[in-house]
Amino acid sequence: FFFFLMIRRPPRSTHCISSAASDVYKRQADMGSRAQTGALALEEMVGGTFSISNCGAYGALLSTPLINVPQSAVMAIHSVKSRAVMANERVEARPMMYLSLSYDHRLVDGREAVFFLKNVKELIEDPRKMLIDI
């Protein structure tokens, strides 16, 4: 099973930067359905520049994702679990999720990668920002 996870190639979604989030979601849903039935073409699984790995689907709390060569970066999204945090001067149980980002320093500056990850965190914390493009 682990070997399968290491060699699989996820479907590639193109032109995401210039597409509405709803369009990207529709394309990904279509590609996911076709991937499950074996109807994806090889061309749809190669040529990407960035991957998102849903490690949380397998129960992972934290991992270091490996870059799929020749891509420049990969972000892993992990499980949401309750954690003790300080809020309003007391300890409360709050949902927490880890994100991790691996990137090729020859192509991506560390400062920009951190700003990207911070932006993703803020969008996850308040998804309304994705709809109104704040």
- The rounded mean pLDDT for the chain is 83
Query: If you average pLDDT over residues 26-48, what whole number do you get?
Result: 82
Give the tokens for residue 42: 């090889």
Residues involved in catalysis: 105, 109
Q: How far apart are the first and last CA of the chain?
A: 41
Quickly tell me which residue has 């032109």 as its tokens: 15
Query: If you average pLDDT over residues 42-64, what whole number do you get?
Result: 84
Q: Residue 99: beta bridge partners?
A: 77
Burial category of 100 from C-beta neighbours within 10 Å (exposed 0-12, middle 13-18, buried 19 and up)? middle
**Residue 83 pLDDT level (bands cut at 50, 70, 90):** very high
Q: The pTM is what?
A: 0.73
Query: If you average pLDDT over residues 85-112, what whole number do you get?
Result: 93
Q: Residue 15: beta bridge partners?
A: none
